[in-house]
């Protein structure tokens, strides 16, 4: 299994004229690592609404059978733990449906409670080399041949958001292609 992670560093200046030297790369990676380690400790308790839109093709050979779904969930983040409550599916209120009951690919942990799953991947992390703030993560996962999924590409965009009068960088959009 190969694991790869390529860090693409975005400078606050318009563009980098040349590839940073080894010392600058080491300093930038250290800033990103420190930011990531402090991120969860810095988040306050909060509640937000997550809207997940899905487009699936149950039969990949017949792409005419497209299915769309919009899932609204209330996410509560308290004591560094996320809890999910499904509120609506395709605009209709639901009761008794849990996050784990949802069929298809779902995600959890983007706000600060990541689960550990080991898969081979490669990708890019876009971050400010001075502050270590991460703004985008792109991943291409290598899926085992015996899986029902053939491809998994993820893109997570993060943006500043006001939470209780303070600015935090939080997930804005998450795109998953399988």
> Could you give the maximum distance between any two Cα atoms of the chain, in Å?
56
What is residue 81's predicted lDDT score, i.e. its pLDDT? 85
Q: What is the pLDDT of residues 76-91, one digit of tens each?
A: 989 888 888 999 989 9
Tokens of 147: 């899986």
Say what the pLDDT of residue 153 is. Answer: 84
* Number of other CB atoms surrounding residue 112 within 10 Å: 17
Given this model, what pLDDT does residue 112 score?
Answer: 63
Residue 41, phi then psi, degrees to nearest 5 = -65, -25
d(CA 83, CA 117): 19
> What's the confidence (pLDDT) of residue 176?
72
Instruction: With beta carbons less than 8 A apart as the criterion, state whether 169 and 159 touch.
Output: yes
User: Which stretch of DSSP H or E encloses residue 38?
Assistant: helix 22-42
**What is the rounded CA–CA span in Å between residue 135 and residue 126?**
6
pLDDT at position 13 over 50? no
Query: Looking at residues 113-142, what average pLDDT do you find?
Result: 82
Pull the structure tokens for residue 55. 């487009």
Which string of DSSP letters, residue by residue, matches 101-126?
A: G--S-----TTS-PPP----EEEEEE
pLDDT band at residue 12 using 50, 70 and 90 as cut-offs: very low
Please give the share of the chain, as a percent, with pLDDT higher than 90.
Answer: 17
| pLDDT score for 46 | 87
Give the separation between CA 39 and CA 170, rounded to whole angstroms.
10
Cα-only R_g, the chain: 19
**CB-side exposure of 43: number of CA atoms within 13 Å?**
24
The pLDDT, as a whole number, for residue 126 is 93
pLDDT tens per residue across span 23-62: 998 999 999 889 888 888 888 888 988 888 777 666 656 6
Among the residue ranges 53-62, 78-87, 126-135, 159-168, the one predicted with the least confidence is: 53-62
Which token pair is 64? Answer: 């005419």
Higher pLDDT, 10 or 170: 170
Residue 18 token pair? 């040349």
């Amino acid at each position: 299994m190969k694991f790869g992670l390529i860090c693409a560093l975005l400078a606050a200046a318009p563009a980098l004229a040349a590839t940073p030297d080894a010392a600058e790369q080491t300093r930038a990676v250290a800033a990103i690592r420190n930011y990531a380690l402090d991120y969860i400790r810095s988040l306050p308790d909060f509640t937000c609404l997550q809207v997940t839109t899905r487009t699936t093709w149950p039969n990949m050979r017949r792409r005419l059978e497209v299915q769309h779904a919009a899932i609204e969930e209330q996410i509560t983040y308290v004591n560094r733990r996320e809890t999910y409550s499904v509120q609506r599916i395709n605009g209709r209120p639901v009761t008794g449906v849990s996050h784990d009951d949802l069929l298809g690919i779902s995600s959890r942990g983007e706000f600060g409670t990541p689960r550990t799953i080991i898969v081979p991947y490669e990708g890019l992390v876009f971050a400010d080399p001075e502050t270590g703030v991460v703004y985008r993560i792109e991943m291409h996962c290598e899926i085992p041949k015996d899986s029902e999924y053939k491809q998994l590409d993820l893109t997570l965009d993060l943006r500043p958001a006001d939470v209780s009068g303070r600015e935090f960088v939080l997930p804005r959009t998450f795109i998953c292609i399988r």
